[in-house]
């Protein structure tokens, strides 16, 4: 039983008039503030010397082998001179954006001119046929060409990403669609994808400083090929104005990703026009400029002062308005990060511009634990935040680059915990048919025999399910055998939907 103290109610006291203040000195603070001057560099060194003399406390873990800190070992020097075609190019010239653009390789014939002394003729023939079958054109900067190990081109992780060869190609999965993420189905205005409630994707242009073989947007980017007639996203301001008008009418939109194509190829005045217009829309709070540029042409940040100053100025304007303007980039392998990269990223870091990275998981490039761990640590070392690792989308002509869902789940398990959580990427599947990004392990059901995984995306569309299909050549023999029979395709899908408890939902196309 609870007991309550009795309370005697009394009349409120009458407050006496306030006494006039006296000029007594103020009481000293409880703690004196340390207002000693900031130590000079010389004084800092002496402090470190003093600390170094202290006996090191006993370690709880074994000492690290300094050789294991390879994420800090960045390629430097005039490495481009290993390529005969660039052997006479000075550093000042190599760092100029105009040189990189003018000398970018855009055809198999031009590629042969540059690398013929370094590779066998059979490799060049393989490339020529690979390009004929590819959905993407070729574009390689001298910087990127210089990072490829032409003594072993078939296994080089950068060559694998950008230069196709016919000999490694596998047939496309029978369930593949050209616009596998159904971006056009979520486009209220040409050049704008509005899938998530508060976020849109603004496709401002259709060209890039490099053409990735695995590009999700191969239905639109890089010009027509023998394989694909592309959708058109020309950088036309009149079309952009229609997009801005749509955004002004949608107060729920707070986040805009400016991509394409690649924001790196927006001239400074157009970069400013897009940035300032978006910042002027009151409800837009976050703007991300998406670019592969820092991975394939980092020198632009160092030498194209007008472009870089424009980006930094937009970031400063955003901060003054309480909004964020940042850069999202795309490194897939540790060898893409050099001393030039570090200098470029340091420049942006010192100016207060946040840079995040989104990788794609690619077979033979970064689908092993050692490489992914090194990539994560090297990105963090150069002040780039690892943000996402995407399951490779189902893209036409590149099934040789895809991995299984099981591979990705195991990679995430072994990468998580190697560094701070804010520098650990989230491994995601961009659910086919417009489901948006889902944690790769969040499937409703996954059959490793048939390679079918079932995802739901309630925040995007609760009436549909989204199916991802592992590459057939990586399945067990029993799974391969079933996919060889067209009559089994719908049966396998039905089995997966039933096992997921989703047989009554619509499969997104």
Domains of the chain: 79-168 (no CATH), 184-442 (3.20.20.70)
- Quick: pLDDT tens for 329-382: 999 999 999 999 999 999 999 999 999 999 999 999 999 999 999 999 999 999
Q: What is the pLDDT along the chain (509 residues), one digit of tens a residue?
A: 444 444 444 444 444 444 444 455 555 555 555 566 677 777 767 888 888 888 888 888 888 888 889 999 999 999 999 999 999 999 999 999 999 999 999 999 999 999 999 999 999 999 999 999 888 889 999 999 999 999 999 999 999 999 999 999 999 999 988 777 777 888 899 899 999 999 999 999 888 888 898 888 766 566 666 666 656 666 678 889 999 999 999 999 999 999 988 999 999 999 999 999 999 999 999 999 999 999 999 999 999 999 999 999 999 999 999 999 999 999 999 999 999 999 999 999 999 999 999 999 999 999 999 999 999 999 999 999 999 999 999 988 899 999 999 999 999 999 999 899 999 999 999 998 888 999 999 999 999 999 999 999 998 888 899 999 999 999 999 999 999 999 999 999 999 999 999 999 989 87
- Residue 323 has a pLDDT of 98
**Cα 393 from chain centroid (whole Å):** 14
Judge if pTM exceeds 0.85: yes
- Cβ proximity of 491 and 447 under 8 Å: no
- Cβ proximity of 447 and 496 under 8 Å: yes
**Cα 203 from chain centroid (whole Å):** 16
H-helix or E-strand spanning residue 355? strand 355-360
CA distances, 229 to each of 134, 223, 225, 233, 253 (Å) = 12, 8, 7, 13, 32
User: Which among 363, 297, 309, 306 has a CA at the least distance from the CA of 333?
Assistant: 363
CA distances, 309 to each of 95, 319, 351, 411 (Å) = 17, 15, 10, 38
């Amino acid at each position: 039983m609870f007991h309550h103290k009795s309370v005697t109610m009394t009349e409120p006291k009458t407050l006496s008039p306030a006494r006039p203040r006296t000029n007594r000195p103020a009481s000293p603070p409880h703690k004196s503030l340390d207002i000693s001057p900031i130590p000079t560099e010389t004084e800092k060194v002496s402090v470190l010397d003093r600390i170094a003399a202290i006996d090191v406390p006993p370690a709880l873990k074994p000492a690290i082998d300094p050789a294991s800190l390879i994420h800090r070992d960045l390629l430097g020097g005039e490495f481009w001179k290993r390529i005969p075609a660039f052997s006479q190019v000075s550093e000042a010239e190599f760092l100029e954006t105009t040189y990189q653009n003018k000398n970018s390789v855009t055809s198999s014939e031009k590629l042969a001119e540059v690398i013929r002394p370094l590779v066998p003729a059979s490799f060049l023939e393989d490339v020529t046929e690979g390009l004929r079958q590819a959905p993407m054109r070729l574009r390689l900067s001298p910087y990127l060409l210089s990072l490829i190990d032409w003594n072993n081109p078939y296994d080089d992780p950068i060559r694998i990403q950008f230069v196709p060869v016919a000999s490694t190609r596998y047939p496309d999965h029978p369930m593949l669609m050209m616009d596998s993420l159904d971006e056009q189905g979520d486009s209220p205005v040409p050049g704008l994808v509005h899938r998530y409630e508060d976020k849109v994707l603004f496709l401002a242009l259709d060209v890039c400083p490099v053409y990735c073989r695995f590009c999700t947007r191969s239905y639109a980017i890089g010009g027509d090929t023998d394989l694909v007639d592309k959708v058109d996203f020309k950088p036309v301001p009149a079309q952009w104005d229609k997009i801005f008008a749509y955004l002004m009418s949608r107060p729920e939109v707070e986040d805009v990703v400016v991509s394409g194509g690649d924001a790196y190829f927006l001239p400074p005045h157009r970069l400013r026009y897009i940035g300032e217009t978006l910042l002027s829309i009151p409800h837009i709070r976050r703007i991300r400029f998406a670019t592969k540029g820092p991975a394939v042409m980092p020198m632009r940040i160092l030498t194209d002062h007008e472009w870089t100053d424009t980006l930094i100025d937009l970031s400063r304007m955003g901060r003054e308005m309480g909004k964020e303007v940042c850069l999202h980039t795309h490194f897939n392998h540790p060898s893409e990060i050099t001393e030039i990269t570090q200098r470029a990223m340091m420049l942006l870091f010192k100016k207060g511009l946040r840079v995040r990275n989104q990788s794609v998981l690619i077979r033979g490039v970064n689908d092993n634990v050692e490489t992914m761990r090194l990539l994560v640590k090297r990105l963090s070392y150069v002040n780039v935040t690892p943000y996402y690792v995407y399951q490779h989308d189902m893209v036409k002509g590149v099934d040789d680059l895809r991995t299984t869902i099981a591979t990705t789940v195991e990679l995430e398990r072994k990468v998580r915990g190697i560094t701070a959580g804010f520098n650990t990427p989230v491994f995601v599947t961009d659910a086919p048919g417009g489901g948006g990004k889902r944690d790769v392990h969040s499937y409703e059901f996954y059959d490793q025999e048939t390679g079918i995984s079932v995802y739901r995306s309630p925040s995007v569309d609760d009436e549909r399910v989204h199916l991802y299909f592992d590459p057939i050549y990586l399945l067990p023999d029993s799974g391969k055998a079933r996919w060889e029979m067209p009559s089994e395709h719908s049966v396998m899908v039905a089995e997966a939907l039933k096992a997921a408890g989703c047989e009554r939902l619509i499969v997104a196309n």
